[in-house]
Amino acid sequence: MDRQIITSPRVTPMRSGVNHAVKAGGFVFVTGVTPFRGAERMAATIDKGDLVAQVRQVMTNMQAILEEAGTSLEKAVKMNVALTDMGRYAEFDATFKTFFKDGNYPARQTTESVRLAHPDFLVSIDCIAVA
């Protein structure tokens, strides 16, 4: 099976030993996308404390990664969401749904994760999409 590494120049480069995504077997597997804004790691910013802004940035970054792989959010089949505060689920969900046509949502699991990879992250989302 062929395997293609996907990196978007519009998304902050990964610091850990992962890539933005890997395309294989007719799918794109996107690493947990973070709310960093900016294509340069040292200049990247984050909207501290603002869940809605962070969800929007995560989904914007996700779109850029999927587009780089030749697909889109419309072809997302499964997402895993990590929220630092499940008490803000409704706020998260309302923002998340704006990125999809009504009813065309991927399968999704949302869990609470007290600590994410950066102390200012409130959300991280990974994705599997049809290539």
* Domain annotation for the chain: domains and CATH numbers: 3-130 (3.30.1330.40)
| pLDDT of the residue at 39 | 82
| Prediction pTM value | 0.95
Q: What percentage of the chain has pLDDT greater than the value 90?
A: 89
68-80 pLDDT tens trace: 999 999 999 999 9
Closest listed residue to residue 51, CA positions, set 94, 98, 12: 94
pLDDT at 41 over 80: no
| pLDDT of the residue at 43 | 84
- How high is the mean pLDDT of the chain? 95
**Angle at 61 (CA atoms; ends 89, 125), nearest 5 degrees:** 35
* CA end-to-end span of the chain: 14
Q: Residue length, the chain?
A: 131
Helix (H) or strand (E) holding 63: helix 51-68
| pLDDT of the residue at 19 | 94
pLDDT at 116 over 90: yes
DSSP secondary structure code for residue 106 in this structure: P
Q: Rounded distance, CA 56 to CA 123, Å?
A: 10
